[in-house]
Structure 1
Amino acid sequence: MKILKFGGTSLANAEKFLCVADIIEKNKNNEQVAIVLSAPAKITNYLVNIAENNIDINKILKNINLAENIFIEIIENIKKIESKFLYKETKKTIKIEFNKLKKTIDSIKILKKYPEKVQAIIMSIGEILSIHIMKNVLKSREHQITIINPIKNMISIGTFLNSKININESKKCINKININKNHIILMPGFIAGNEQGELVILGRNGSDYSAAVLACCLNAQLCEIWTDVDGVFTSDPKKISNTVLLKSISYEETMELSYFGAKVLHPRTIEPLKDFNIPCVIKNTYNIQSQGTLICKKNTFDEKILKGVTNLDNITMFTLSGILLRQNNNVIQKIFNLISEENINIILITKSSSKNNFSFCTQDKDRQKILILINKAFKLEFKENLLNNINITNDLSILSVVGFNISKKHDIASKIFYALGKSKINILAISQGSSKHSISIVIKKEKILQSMQNVHNALFCNKKIINVFLIGVGGVGKELIKQILQQKNFLAHKNIEIKIRTIANSKKILFLNDLMELQDWETHLKNSKEKFNLKILNKLLEDNSFLNSVLIDCTSDDILSKQYVNFLSKGFHVVTSNKKANTSSLKYYNDIRQTELKEHKKFLYETNVGAGLPVLQTLRNLINTGDDLICFKGILSGSLSFIFGKLEENILLSDATKKAKDLGFTEPNPYDDLSGIDVARKLLILAREVGYKVELKDIEIEQILPEKFKKYKNTKEFLDKLKEIDIPFMEKVKKAKNSGKVLRFVGTIEKKGRCSVKIEEIHIDNPLYKVKNGENALTFYTNYYQPIPLVLRGYGAGNNVTASGVFSDLLRTIL
Structure 2
Amino acid sequence: MEVLKFGGSSVGSSKRIHQVVEILDRYSKHGKVVCVVSAVGGITDKLLKAGQLALEKNESFAAEFDEIRKIHLSLVSELIPNANDYVLEYLEEELSYLKNLLDGIYLINELTPKTSDKLTSFGELLSSFIITEVAKHRGIDAVRKNSQELIVTNSNFTKAEVNYLVTNKNIRDYFKTAHQLTVLPGFVAKSNLGEITTLGRGGSDFTASIVAAALQVKKLEIWTDVSGMYTANPKLVKQAVPIEVLSYQEAMELSHFGAKVLFPPTVQPALDLEIPILIKNTLKPEDKGTLIKTHSNSTSGSVSGITSVDHIALLTLQGNGMVGIPGFSKRLFEVLALEKINVIFITQASSEHSICFGISEGDADLAVTSVNACFEYEISTRKIRPVEVEKNLSIIALVGDRMKNHQGISGKMFSALGKNNVNVRAIAQGASEKNISAVILENDVKKALNALHESFFEVKTKQLNVFITGVGNVGHRLLSQIEQQRKFLKNELRINLRVMGISNSRKMYFDEEGIDLGNWKDHLEQGEQASLDGFLEKATQLNKRNSIFVDITASEAVSQMYSSYLKRSISVVACNKIACSSEFHNYKTLKNLSKKYNASFLFETNVGAGLPIIDTLSNLVASGDKVTSIQAVLSGSLNFVFNNFDSSTKFHDVVKEAQKEGFTEPDPRIDLSGVDVARKILILARESGYEMNLEDIENDSFLTKANLESDTVDDFYESLSEDEEHFQKLFSAAIANNSQLKYVAEFDKGKAKVGLKEIPQGHPFYNLEGKDNIVMFYSHRYPEQPIIVKGAGAGADVTASGLFADIIRVSNK
**1:293 Cα deviation (Å)?**
0.5
> C-alpha separation between the residues in 2 aligned to 1:208 and 1:323?
48
Partner of 1:164: 161
1:483 corresponds to which of 481, 484, 489: 481
Partner of 2:303: 306
Matched letter for residue 296 of structure 2: N
Q: Gapped runs of 5+ residues in structure 1?
A: none
Partner of 1:805: 802
Partner of 1:71: 72
Q: Does 1:719 align with 2:699?
A: no
| 2:646/2:728 contact within 8 Å kept | no
| 1:627/1:783 contact within 8 Å kept | yes
Matched letter for residue 50 of structure 1: A
Matched letter for residue 41 of structure 2: A
TM-score relative to the length of structure 2: 0.91
Between 291-300 and 648-657, the greater mean CA deviation after superposition: 648-657
Q: Gapped runs of 5+ residues in structure 2?
A: none
| 2:700/2:753 contact within 8 Å kept | no
Partner of 2:497: 498
Structure 1 residues 302, 209: CA separation in 2 closer, same or farther (over 3 Å shift)? farther
Partner of 1:673: 671
| CA RMSD across the alignment | 3.2
Partner of 1:10: 10
| 1:407/1:432 contact within 8 Å kept | no
**1:501 Cα deviation (Å)?**
4.2
> C-alpha separation between the residues in 2 aligned to 1:782 and 1:581?
26
**1:600 Cα deviation (Å)?**
4.6
> C-alpha separation between the residues in 2 aligned to 1:688 and 1:350?
47
Partner of 1:709: 707
Partner of 2:53: 53
Partner of 1:173: 170
| 1:699/1:756 contact within 8 Å kept | yes
Cα shift readout 1:539-559 (whole Å, capped 9, x = no counterpart): 667778654443322221223
Q: Does 1:777 align with 2:774?
A: yes
Matched letter for residue 17 of structure 1: I
Cα shift readout 1:685-723 (whole Å, capped 9, x = no counterpart): 233333454443343434332212223334444434423
**1:150 Cα deviation (Å)?**
0.9
Cα shift readout 1:214-249 (whole Å, capped 9, x = no counterpart): 111222111111111111012211123322321111
**1:343 Cα deviation (Å)?**
4.0
> C-alpha separation between the residues in 2 aligned to 1:755 and 1:69?
85
> C-alpha separation between the residues in 1 aligned to 2:663 and 2:90?
82
> C-alpha separation between the residues in 1 aligned to 2:8 and 2:50?
18
Cα shift readout 1:709-764 (whole Å, capped 9, x = no counterpart): 2233344444344234434544554554466543333333446644332131442x
Q: Does 1:639 align with 2:637?
A: yes
| 1:419/1:547 contact within 8 Å kept | no
Matched letter for residue 584 of structure 1: S
> C-alpha separation between the residues in 1 aligned to 2:671 and 2:316?
66
Structure 1 residues 517, 209: CA separation in 2 closer, same or farther (over 3 Å shift)? farther
> C-alpha separation between the residues in 1 aligned to 2:319 and 2:710?
77
User: What secondary structure sits across from 1:176 in the alignment?
Assistant: helix
1:650 corresponds to which of 648, 651, 655: 648
Structure 1 residues 360, 479: CA separation in 2 closer, same or farther (over 3 Å shift)? same
| 1:325/1:357 contact within 8 Å kept | yes
| 2:628/2:779 contact within 8 Å kept | yes
> C-alpha separation between the residues in 1 aligned to 2:582 and 2:739?
36
> C-alpha separation between the residues in 1 aligned to 2:108 and 2:122?
21
Structure 1 residues 728, 424: CA separation in 2 closer, same or farther (over 3 Å shift)? closer
> C-alpha separation between the residues in 1 aligned to 2:184 and 2:518?
51
Structure 1 residues 491, 661: CA separation in 2 closer, same or farther (over 3 Å shift)? closer
User: What secondary structure sits across from 1:773 in the alignment?
Assistant: coil
> C-alpha separation between the residues in 1 aligned to 2:378 and 2:585?
59
Q: Does 1:247 align with 2:247?
A: no
Structure 1 residues 515, 385: CA separation in 2 closer, same or farther (over 3 Å shift)? same
Q: Does 1:89 align with 2:74?
A: no
| 1:37/1:189 contact within 8 Å kept | yes
1:684 corresponds to which of 682, 685, 690: 682
| 1:145/1:185 contact within 8 Å kept | yes
> C-alpha separation between the residues in 1 aligned to 2:630 and 2:91?
91
TM-score relative to the length of structure 1: 0.90
Matched letter for residue 37 of structure 2: L
| 1:310/1:452 contact within 8 Å kept | yes
**1:373 Cα deviation (Å)?**
4.8
Cα shift readout 1:652-698 (whole Å, capped 9, x = no counterpart): 32332333333333344444333232223223323333345444334
Between 410-419 and 541-550, the greater mean CA deviation after superposition: 541-550
Cα shift readout 1:109-155 (whole Å, capped 9, x = no counterpart): 22223232222222122221222222222222322223332111011
Partner of 1:221: 218
| 1:744/1:761 contact within 8 Å kept | yes
Cα shift readout 1:636-663 (whole Å, capped 9, x = no counterpart): 2222222222224832323323333333
1:126 corresponds to which of 123, 126, 129: 123
| Pairing 1:49-448 to 2, within 5 Å after superposition | 49-54=49-54, 55-79=56-80, 86-177=83-174, 179-180=176-177, 183-301=180-298, 303-321=300-318, 325=322, 329-371=326-368, 373-374=370-371, 388-404=385-401, 406=403, 408-433=405-430, 436-448=433-445
Partner of 1:42: 42
| 1:699/1:757 contact within 8 Å kept | no
Structure 1 residues 451, 668: CA separation in 2 closer, same or farther (over 3 Å shift)? closer
User: What secondary structure sits across from 2:307 in the alignment?
Assistant: strand
> C-alpha separation between the residues in 2 aligned to 1:457 and 1:71?
44
Give the paired residue count: 809
Structure 1 residues 596, 384: CA separation in 2 closer, same or farther (over 3 Å shift)? closer
Between 393-402 and 603-612, the greater mean CA deviation after superposition: 393-402
| 1:412/1:459 contact within 8 Å kept | no
User: What secondary structure sits across from 1:654 in the alignment?
Assistant: helix
Between 578-587 and 341-350, the greater mean CA deviation after superposition: 341-350
**1:386 Cα deviation (Å)?**
6.0
Structure 1 residues 277, 325: CA separation in 2 closer, same or farther (over 3 Å shift)? same
> C-alpha separation between the residues in 2 aligned to 1:629 and 1:366?
63
User: What secondary structure sits across from 1:109 in the alignment?
Assistant: helix
**1:332 Cα deviation (Å)?**
3.1
Structure 1 residues 659, 427: CA separation in 2 closer, same or farther (over 3 Å shift)? closer
Structure 1 residues 723, 213: CA separation in 2 closer, same or farther (over 3 Å shift)? same
**1:256 Cα deviation (Å)?**
1.6
Between 62-71 and 505-514, the greater mean CA deviation after superposition: 505-514
> C-alpha separation between the residues in 1 aligned to 2:711 and 2:282?
71
| 2:10/2:16 contact within 8 Å kept | yes
> C-alpha separation between the residues in 2 aligned to 1:693 and 1:756?
18
**1:272 Cα deviation (Å)?**
1.4
Structure 1 residues 250, 737: CA separation in 2 closer, same or farther (over 3 Å shift)? same
Matched letter for residue 192 of structure 1: A
**1:34 Cα deviation (Å)?**
0.9
Structure 1 residues 491, 220: CA separation in 2 closer, same or farther (over 3 Å shift)? same
| Pairing 1:502-541 to 2, within 5 Å after superposition | 502-514=501-513, 517=516, 519-529=518-528, 531-534=530-533, 536=534
| 2:500/2:515 contact within 8 Å kept | no
Cα shift readout 1:761-814 (whole Å, capped 9, x = no counterpart): 442x34433433333333456676687655433322222211211111122223
User: What secondary structure sits across from 1:53 in the alignment?
Assistant: helix
> C-alpha separation between the residues in 2 aligned to 1:581 and 1:368?
48
Matched letter for residue 125 of structure 2: I
Cα shift readout 1:161-210 (whole Å, capped 9, x = no counterpart): 11233333211011222544552121111111111122211121111111
> C-alpha separation between the residues in 2 aligned to 1:56 and 1:484?
63
Structure 1 residues 70, 414: CA separation in 2 closer, same or farther (over 3 Å shift)? same
| 2:739/2:758 contact within 8 Å kept | no
User: What secondary structure sits across from 1:110 in the alignment?
Assistant: helix
> C-alpha separation between the residues in 2 aligned to 1:339 and 1:782?
69
Matched letter for residue 419 of structure 1: A
> C-alpha separation between the residues in 1 aligned to 2:454 and 2:748?
49
Between 365-374 and 71-80, the greater mean CA deviation after superposition: 365-374
Structure 1 residues 302, 19: CA separation in 2 closer, same or farther (over 3 Å shift)? farther
Cα shift readout 1:329-365 (whole Å, capped 9, x = no counterpart): 3453344344435544222232332334423333233
